[in-house]
Amino acid sequence: MPQDLSSLPDLLSRTADLLRLSGANDFKAGAWNKAAAIVEQEGDALRLRDSEKALQELPGIGKSLASELHHFLSTGTLPQLDCLEKTLPAELISWLDISGLGPKRAAKIHKTLEIDSIAELKNALEDGRVAALPGFGKKSAHKILNALTWMEGSGERCLLDEAQGLAQQVTDLLSNLPGLIRLECAGSLRRSRESIGDLDFLACVSDQGEALHQAFCEWEDVVEVLVRGETKSSVRVKQGRQLDLRTVNETAFPAALIYFTGSKEHNVFLRGRAREKGLTLNEYGLYPLVDGEADREHPQNAPSEAALYQKLDLPFTPPELREALYQSWVEADTIPELVEANDLQGVLHAHSTWSDGKNTLQDMAEACLNLGYHYLGITDHSQSAFYANGLKPQAVEAQWKEIDELNQRFKDEGKDFIILKGIESDIRADGNLDYEDDLLSGFDFVIASIHGQMDMEAEAMQARMEKAIRHPACSIVGHPTARLLLQRPGVKLDMEAIIRLAATQSVAIEINAAPPRLELDWRWGKLAKEVGLQTAICPDAHAVNQLTRMTQYGVPMARKAAFDASRILNCQAAQNLFIK
Ligand code: DGT
Ligand code: CA
Ligand code: CA
Ligand code: ZN
């Protein structure tokens, strides 16, 4: 089994950091940083060096590094790194996450003050012991303390809605400044990952971009400027995120946009591809390789990302699919069409004041109509959901009556709009749905969701979900694992088996567009396509202002899962839905 090389540069850099933290000298540690750069440049070509001797032929790779790399190629681990991670105290290692501290200074504090916990570090920063160390001083101790406090107050990652909101603020801040030609959000946000680390902005500028860097670093929400260079700035904002801004000129923009969009794995793949064609690709452009070196005099630059992909003989890859998972599709030129926001015809999965929604059924329906949709499949909670004011059978009948009346009115007013009778039925612990079969068969459709008893063992949970899917009334599975991103993992389910079963039963699995849910997880999209699973992009809206979740987060997730409109229920007209 060949090892995944994409993580190797990071592992080598981490070894360098841990060596410095352990007190090793700069010369020794620096060799590992150099190795990281070399390995990154080599890409997949590293595999061809199948002996220590062949590895030693690389510039800067001595005997011991060659032996480490050789070990990695056969086992996927670096002995030196393993050893450091075992011997250094775990909390001391976590000091490396404090931005601006760095391994060398961390080592100095650790060694001189003989401390290795975060709490002790905090004390020493507060009581002046760090400030008194040679080479530190009050100002830098204060900075480190700020960074530590910030780190404790901010999660490592944030949800998509928070990231999108912040990106919008930065876009507003920068978009009218002189010199700006184009501004793009790159990184994981452009790829529509379900959670975001830092935010990466790439600006195409006609000058140096000084106005942008200045506005960016002086933005009122900035709590600390980490880097302030001519083409790169990096700041931390009070919202708890780090933001990076790069400015490049028009020639370099397409290559830079590809590079900073990532993913790292996709970049490694593209670089390998360039090599095969006698070229070399980096963040500045695409160049011919002459004697193993980039020929910078003759850039193969192209006016757009699409043109660059073409130069590599690859199909344009939408940012959402620039992940290792989709590499085989890129190679085979089989990138599918992806769903777009205006493919959506209607809304499925929303709540009203009948259960725990904030707006009335009529208000929800009119909001859907105003957004240009043709139907609303209302799905209030079922009777077991007492915490959410779930509907008793009588309430169901009363709601149906209101739906009939509203639909009659839409018809009389000549509106192309209909409310479908749905329910979000709890899947009970025994796998039964939440009403008698008679009542269940009266709904146009049923979404079956797990809301309670989530800590069941894998086998029982699997049986529970499978039974629900097999129920003839079940149309859609809601938020299948009930995960809450960055908060709690999902229930124990064999998702592969669930997806296969749902496909054979003609049951869809929704992509729930509530930012903490965002599942069906996009990683299952490839399997879903193979087995012909249907989905629905669902807002799970509990208020009219949550309907736009569909286009803000649901469509990006469905694209990331590689769904085209034909496999998405609410891209169909109402009359074509739920016919089994
Ligand atoms: P995040 O911030 O954890 O949500 O994920 P990303 O993908 O935004 O990662 P980030 O911010 O570290 O870097 C942004 C992009 O820049 C990344 O997707 C690819 C590129 N990049 C950054 N560092 C490296 C690197 O060491 N090697 C390669 N090949 N690409 C890199
Ligand atoms: Ca990022
Ligand atoms: Ca970044
Ligand atoms: Zn739900």
- Say which residue the tokens 């993992």 belong to: 489
Does the Cβ of 485 fall within 6 Å of ligand 1?
no
Mutation to probe ligand 1, out of 44, 157, 264 (largest number of atoms < 8 A from CB):
264
Does the Cβ of 72 fall within 6 Å of ligand 1?
no
Listed residues: CB within 5 A of ion ligand 2: 187-188, 197-198, 200
Residue-wise pLDDT tens digits, 307-333: 999 999 999 999 999 999 999 999 999
Ligand 1 atom nearest 193 alpha carbon: 4
Q: What angle do CA 486, 492, 495 make, to 5 degrees?
A: 95
Average pLDDT score over the chain: 94
Q: Which residue puts its alpha carbon closest to atom 15 of ligand 1?
A: 260
Residue-wise pLDDT tens digits, 141-170: 998 998 888 777 667 799 999 999 999 999
Contacts of 216 (CB under 8 A, 6+ apart): 170, 173, 174, 201, 222, 233, 235, 243, 245
C-alpha 111 to ligand 3 mean position (Å)? 31
Ligand nearest to the CA of 427: 4
- Three-state SS string across 149-193, please? HHHHHCCCCEEHHHHHHHHHHHHHHHCCCCCEEEEEECHHHHCCC
C-alpha 91 to ligand 2 mean position (Å)? 25
Task: Sheet containing 242-248: give its strands across.
Answer: 180-185, 199-205, 242-248, 232-237, 222-228
Ligand 1 atom nearest 268 alpha carbon: 29
C-alpha 186 to ligand 3 mean position (Å)? 9
- Position 79 scores a pLDDT of 96
Residue-wise pLDDT tens digits, 480-513: 999 999 888 899 999 999 999 999 999 999 999 9
Contacts of 168 (CB under 8 A, 6+ apart): none
- Position 481 scores a pLDDT of 97
Does the Cβ of 433 fall within 6 Å of ligand 1?
no
- Position 578 scores a pLDDT of 81
Does the Cβ of 199 fall within 6 Å of ligand 1?
no
Contacts of 480 (CB under 8 A, 6+ apart): 450, 465, 490, 493, 495, 498, 509, 519, 520
- pTM for this prediction: 0.80
- Find residue 426's DSSP bridge partners: 449
Q: Does residue 100 contact residue 226 with C-beta atoms inside 8 Å?
A: yes
Does the Cβ of 41 fall within 6 Å of ligand 1?
no
Cα distance between residue 316 and residue 336, in whole Å: 11
Mean pLDDT of 539-555: 98
Ligand nearest to the CA of 232: 3
Residue-wise pLDDT tens digits, 284-293: 999 998 887 8
pLDDT surpassing 90 at residue 4: no
- Position 45 scores a pLDDT of 87
Q: Which domains does the chain have, with CATH numbers?
A: 5-153 (1.10.150.110), 158-250 (3.30.460.10), 264-330 (3.30.210.10), 341-576 (3.20.20.140)
Q: Which residue puts its alpha carbon closest to atom 14 of ligand 1?
A: 187
pLDDT band at 238 (very low <50, low <70, confident <90, very high): confident
Does the Cβ of 379 fall within 6 Å of ligand 1?
no
- Position 188 scores a pLDDT of 98
Cα distance between residue 85 and residue 91, in whole Å: 11
Q: Does residue 476 contact residue 503 with C-beta atoms inside 8 Å?
A: no
Ligand nearest to the CA of 264: 1
C-alpha 333 to ligand 3 mean position (Å)? 29
